[in-house]
Chains A and B, each alone.
Chain A
Amino acid sequence: MCKVVDVRQSVLAKNDHLADALRTELTARGTTVVSLLSSPGSGKTALLEQVLARMGVRGVPVAALTADLATENDARRLARSGAPVKQVLTGGLCHLEAAQLRAHLEGWLPGDTRLLFVENVGNLVCPASYDLGETLRVTLMSVTEGEDKPLKYPLAFGLAHLVVLTKNDIADAVDFDGAAFTAHLARVNPEVPVLRTSVRTGEGVQALVDHFLAVADGAVPHRPRLASAPRGGAHAPGGTGGHHHDRAPAPAPLTSHQ
Chain B
Amino acid sequence: MHELSLATAIVERAAETARRHGATTVTAVRLRVGEMAGVVPDALVFSFEVAREGTVLESARLVVEEVPARARCAGCAADFAVGTPPFLWCPRCDRPAQALLSGRELEITGIELQEAET
Contact = CB atoms under 8 A, between A and B. Distances in A.
Interface residues of A, number: 43
B108 A230 contact: no
B36 interface: yes
Contact of B2 (A1, A94, A226, A229): A94
A83 to B, nearest CB: 29
Contacts of A203: none
Pick from B17, B97, B100 the residue with the most CB of A within 10 Å.
B100
A125 B36 CA distance: 12
Contact of A12 (B71, B98, B106, B115): B106
A225 interface: yes
28 contacts: A1-B114, A1-B115, A2-B114, A3-B115, A4-B113, A5-B112, A7-B17, A7-B108, A93-B5, A128-B38, A155-B38, A158-B86, A187-B85, A187-B86, A187-B89, A188-B86, A225-B98, A226-B100, A226-B104, A227-B100, A229-B34, A229-B101, A229-B103, A229-B104, A232-B105, A232-B107, A232-B109, A233-B107
Interface of A: 1-12, 14, 93-95, 97, 125-126, 128-130, 151-152, 154-155, 158, 186-191, 225-233, 236
Interface of B: 1-2, 5-6, 9-10, 13, 17, 21, 23, 27, 31-32, 34, 36-39, 69, 71, 84-89, 96-115, 117
